[in-house]
Each structure stands twice: as C-alpha cells, then as structure tokens.
Amino acid sequence: MLIRRKTQVDKRERSGLTSHFMLGRGDTEANALAVTWVTVRPGSRQILHNHPEVQVYVLVAGYGIMQVGEERHAVQGGDLIYIPSNETHGIENTSDETLSYISAATPAFSMTLADAYDNGQLTPEAYK
C-alpha cells in the first residue's frame, strides 16, 4: 500500500495554480498512473495544453469553465471531465472561491518536465 499526504508531496506553483504531485513516474513499479491535486485561485486559468495520453479531471470544489478542443462548458464540484488523447484542454476559475480538482492520466509521466507543461505540451518523452 502507498499512502501520500498532499502536505508532504512536491508541488509547483504558477500563475494562480498550485499542483501537488501525488503520484508520478517512478513512484510505483508499474508506472501506470499520474495523479495531481490542483487548486486554482479565483480568476486564474490553466494554460491550454495537450499530451498523448487520456486524462480525467474530477472537480472537488468550486466552479469554472473547462475547454476541451473547441468545446467550452461550465463545470463544478462533483463533475468528471474526460479528455481524449492529444486534445488541447484547460480550466479557468470564474468564481470567487478556490477551484480544486484531481487529475489522473495514464501512463505516469515525469513530474520533472514541468517546463514542457508550462509551454503547452507534454511530449512523448515525458512518458519514458
């Protein structure tokens, strides 16, 4: 069994978003899953980005606008968003409260490639 506490994992802060890297490449033998807990301050947005593997966001609290491809929809705590492979996506907090979501992607990717994320794409090298 592997247990991680959000307060004890690596995190990255940028442009109103804080990402807590709960599970990534090298954390388990199978390297099958990447999990990130993300908080988005009011008025902040995630950079539009894409990557080769499918992903889901599970909104824990707050609300905002999610873009996947050309589609934009209002989302709120309790929603799950499925993001197909290589589809450009990002979320914006349009509320006065913190938006929180859990991201899960497979396979696990290297959390050290944050620059690739910040530039809008996690390349296939992130998964090796």
Domain boundaries, given as residue ranges, for the chain:
8-110
pTM score, whole prediction: 0.85
What are 32-79's pLDDT values in tens digits?
888 999 999 999 999 898 888 899 999 999 999 999 999 999 999 999
Model confidence pLDDT, tens digit, residues 73-123: 999 999 999 999 999 999 999 999 999 999 999 877 666 555 555 555 555
The 10s digit of each residue's pLDDT in 5-39 is 999 998 989 889 999 999 987 777 877 888 999 99
Q: For domain 8-110, give the fold.
A: Jelly Rolls (2.60.120)
For 83-89, the CB contacts below 8 A with 24+ separation are 83/54, 83/55, 83/56, 83/57, 84/54, 85/52, 85/53, 85/54, 86/50, 86/51, 86/52, 87/50, 88/48, 88/49, 88/50, 89/48, 89/49, 89/50, 89/55
